[in-house]
Structure 1
Amino acid sequence: MTHPIQFINGQWLEGQGSAFNSVNPANNTEIWQGNAASEQQVEQAIKAARNAFTPWSSQSVESRIALTEKFAQLLTDNKETLATTIAQETGKPLWETRTEVGAMVGKIAISVKAYHERTGTVENPMPGAKAFIRHKPHGVVAVFGPYNFPGHLPNGHIVPALIAGNTIVFKPSELTPLTAEVTLKLWQEAGLPEGVLNMVQGEVSTGKALANHPQIDGLFFTGSSTTGKLLHEQFGGLPGKILALEMGGNNPLIIKDVKNTDAVVHDILQSAFISAGQRCTCARRLFIQSGEQGDTILAKLIESTKAISVGYYDDEQQPFIGSMISEKAALGLVSAQDKLIKLGAKSLVELTHKKAGTGFVTPGILDVTGIDIPDEEHFGPLLKVYRYTDFDAAIDEGNNTAFGLSAGLLADNEADYQHFFSRIRAGIVNWNKPITGASSAAPFGGIGDSGNHRASAYYAADYCAYPVASVEANAVSLPENLSPGLTIK
């Protein structure tokens, strides 16, 4: 039975489109069902956002911030409920989804600080006047959310957009609609005015109706590079619309002359396999030196990978990773592994689909040294190993990708890191830390097929408002010296 899942102008409405559902990928049980938004309902949502824009943007930034702080408190009060919802829909273990809700809470204070530091008001004196830099919201923006962090990543667009004074139409992933519904009900409870934040649930047709609508002033997207590039093409020739793309990566991690083998293996596992490899920053390509030290690291990595605990989100003894988002995603990884092996890759740890009807897989490792493989992001726990003898050649191969999201070096010598940093092409570059780790007080984004130079996280404030330069005086005044050839009669 369907239920009201569309949130338009402060009202929960049943969708008028086709039915779709959400399935717990760990046990293949349906946990949510509803009907998609129709084109007419997308139109209604955009109209509601447009009507709400002037009163919302006219409020003081302090009042807008106060509402986001109420939302943060409600997130804190409902942390376990939301964490459980995310775990059921994504298959991720509870220890990880609890950290996701914690990140959502932390995003409020970070966004407030970023707003004031990056898009606040700046006043500069000048002769006979004052020069100001202020910022204005774009208007009605669409936010497209992903499935891998269905709470945190949309939140990273929505919070700064609201603080800046925009109104929003949110299209969550069709794979995680329940998480979005629970989150929107908390925003409603926080007292957000009608029409300020709307949500249209649905599949591809709903997304197309929203992205194609002429009345949106911008679109903030987190998801695959394939979809992101289609949006980029669609927005070509529309310079009046802001487009922020946060996409995937084929991320390199290089190991060089490091003594602490256990720490190295730990950081590789954290970089490659956390969240069942479903983070855009996960290491996809691992470069290990040829020779005895590299052999030792690789042998320990293989055994440690085989020992990774894979299990249900609510197991009393929490697993390191849970299910992938769907059986389709799991089978896609098995297929990708098979294709690479046919190209000449050697299986060091086989990625296996654990149970039919579920998204459970065991992590896999392939040696792809010396073979030509496609530049693809395999979004799951499948790591490709390259053995190398020349550091510069390893860096060059690390850069041999259309992507440019994250990269890392595990090495004892700081000079090696400085050399690596100067040559690697990525928006996130770490030294002796997992490449899935990022500071909340820093920008988050990449170059190439990983984004369009609209870094999110701390820099999200930049694309949520546009700068306005003003020269202002309290009264008009006649200058003491007129320009040559000018006479006032």
Structure 2
Amino acid sequence: MKYPAVRNYVAGQFVDDSGSRSLDVFSPLSGAVISTVPLSGMAALDQAVTAAKAAFSAWSAVPIKERVQIFYRYKALLERDMKELADLVREENGKTYDEARAEVEKAIELTEFACSMPQLIQGEFLEVSKGVEARVERKPLGVVASIAPFNFPNMVPHWTIPNALVLGNTMVLKPSEVVPLSAGKIAELLKEAGLPDGVLNIVHGDREIVEAICDHPDIQAVSFVGSTKIAKLVYIRATSNLKRCVALGGAKNHLMVLPDAHPEMTASNVAASMSGCAGQRCMAGSTMVGVGAVDSIVAKIVEEARKIVPGHNLGSVISKEAKERIEQHITEAEAAGAKVLLDGRNARVAGQEEGYYVGATVVDYVTPDMRIAQEEVFGPVLAIMRTNTLDEALAIENANPYGNAAAVFTSSGSSARYVMDHANAGMIGVNIGVPVPREPFSFGGWNESKFGACDITGKSSIEFWTQLKKTTTKWNPESRVNWMS
């Protein structure tokens, strides 16, 4: 195997799991086994939570301006080891190198934002009555948990680790068992930056460990990123155990293209949105709704999509099963009457014939009743539906159960404003196919794309990772007494 067996990380040390279950880790680029990962159970989680709980008192007592110094150093280490981090992401997830590097660059931005926390949580102070002062401060929750998905093994852990830890919490991270390698490198760099032992702990596993996290009495909050089906289950289970929870699920993002859209800009944006990270992102523009006469724009989209070549500027999907599922969506749509304008089925890359590749695919004349129009395909596939009016396009967008993102391509300010006001999604793009907010603005959708209050990043995350402490003081007995004092 290319990499050593993955180990849990507890109290600043990599440790073996005492259980007997493990899983092979495959590189989707080649289909080869590159490592193994333990599938830990409750005993390993208890060990990690105990370490996090023991570290909490001292860590939360460190002034926040001192805590962020560790993350300033950590940011520099991420920059120093950029290539190694990107190579790990590419190896275990299948991204192109440029996509993997961009993922690490986003992790750096997230870390930068965490370093600004001292300026964002200054609290409030007011003399509320003669001689009586009230103060409001934000305090950490304690031990928290973060459950990360396979599609961004470096970036998504940074949605939670920097903010939660800078705010004084200690954490147990559960990476996806499919992509466990990046988490270990993150832990190594944080220790090198000076993070005290026990503040971050990593436990690897599958469903068993996720359920244990939701049930553990000493974990105060849980964040989750994954499919909607599992997000619902995690949210219900965690909150039934009286924990805070924010659980991000899937998406079906609609790109509405009007006839007055700029052809070249629209084509490049739509093609990149549907195929970036092999379509394996919850912000992928998997569905285009053409409004009126847009045949010339569709032709340019196909032209741009032909430039996206597996093994060159298009990475692999995560597994053989994912490849088969994605290609089945295409086959079913074609059988139901859709027209495949560009077919990415049966893609092969020379020298990596066993890799899990699906080529860029464009399917036109999809109807809302088709499965490809309803379900999250999570592959480099664009399904195109046709409407006559913008209201009809918005009706299709509004009818889908998800609410992560929506976008409109147009040269009309009034049309753009109309979509901004009426699209039923938490993140909106105007002539932007992947409308991910940059820090300090937060990431999070609506409806069945997110369960729980607050967003997972940005300023909104402060509310999730902290609780308010209100203090009222009086020192001068000579002040008059009234009902407020």
Same-fold call, TM cutoff 0.5:
yes
In structure 1, give the amino acid aligned to 2:309.
S
Does 1:122 pair with 2:124? yes
Which TM-score applies when normalising by structure 2?
Answer: 0.92
Distance 1:334 1:14 in 2: 39
In structure 2, give the amino acid aligned to 1:60.
P
Match of 2:345 among 349, 352, 363: 352
SS of the residue 2:116 aligns to: helix
Does 1:296 pair with 2:296? yes
Deviations 1:189-243 (A, max 9, x none): 22221211100012222222223222211101111111101112213434x4110
Deviations 1:352-381 (A, max 9, x none): 132463211102122244451343111111
Q: Please say if residues 405 and 428 of structure 2, whose CA atoms lie closer than 8 Å, have aligned partners that are also in contact.
A: yes
In structure 2, give the amino acid aligned to 1:296.
S
Give 1:227's aligned residue. 230
Task: From the superposition, tell whether residues 465 and 411 of structure 1 become closer, same or farther in structure 2 (CA, over 3 Å).
Answer: same
Q: Please say if residues 245 and 454 of structure 1, whose CA atoms lie closer than 8 Å, have aligned partners that are also in contact.
A: no
Give 1:46's aligned residue. 49
Give 1:89's aligned residue. 92
Distance 1:476 1:10 in 2: 50
In structure 2, give the amino acid aligned to 1:245.
A
Distance 1:3 1:370 in 2: 47
Distance 1:464 1:223 in 2: 20
Alignment of 1:153-168 (within 5 A): 153-168=156-171
Does 1:325 pair with 2:318? yes
The structural deviation recorded for 1:436 is: 4.6
Give 1:134's aligned residue. 137
The structural deviation recorded for 1:96 is: 1.5
Distance 2:482 2:159 in 1: 52
CA RMSD of aligned residues (A): 2.0
Q: Please say if residues 115 and 461 of structure 1, whose CA atoms lie closer than 8 Å, have aligned partners that are also in contact.
A: no
Does 1:5 pair with 2:7? yes
Distance 1:34 1:278 in 2: 22
Q: Please say if residues 117 and 166 of structure 2, whose CA atoms lie closer than 8 Å, have aligned partners that are also in contact.
A: no
Instruction: Answer with 354-363 or 95-104: which moved more.
Output: 354-363
Q: Please say if residues 16 and 35 of structure 1, whose CA atoms lie closer than 8 Å, have aligned partners that are also in contact.
A: no
Deviations 1:291-341 (A, max 9, x none): 2xx110111212322231221xxxxxxx32211112221111012222333
Task: From the superposition, tell whether residues 10 and 390 of structure 1 become closer, same or farther in structure 2 (CA, over 3 Å).
Answer: same
Task: From the superposition, tell whether residues 214 and 347 of structure 1 become closer, same or farther in structure 2 (CA, over 3 Å).
Answer: same
SS of the residue 1:147 aligns to: coil
Q: Identity percentage over the alignment?
A: 26
Task: From the superposition, tell whether residues 359 and 369 of structure 1 become closer, same or farther in structure 2 (CA, over 3 Å).
Answer: closer
Match of 1:334 among 321, 327, 335: 327
Q: Please say if residues 3 and 14 of structure 1, whose CA atoms lie closer than 8 Å, have aligned partners that are also in contact.
A: no
SS of the residue 1:235 aligns to: helix
Distance 2:81 2:220 in 1: 33
Give structure 1 stretches of 5+ with no counterpart. Answer: 312-318, 484-489
Give 2:461's aligned residue. 460
Deviations 1:387-435 (A, max 9, x none): 1111111111111111101111111010111111111111111111222
Deviations 1:226-264 (A, max 9, x none): 1101112213434x4110122221001111132521111
Does 1:397 pair with 2:374? no
Give 1:486's aligned residue. none
Q: Please say if residues 70 and 194 of structure 2, whose CA atoms lie closer than 8 Å, have aligned partners that are also in contact.
A: yes
Q: Please say if residues 138 and 217 of structure 1, whose CA atoms lie closer than 8 Å, have aligned partners that are also in contact.
A: yes
SS of the residue 1:444 aligns to: coil
In structure 2, give the amino acid aligned to 1:365.
V
Distance 1:36 1:416 in 2: 51
Give 1:23's aligned residue. 26
Distance 2:290 2:413 in 1: 18
- Figure out how many residues of one structure are paired with residues of the other and give that number: 472
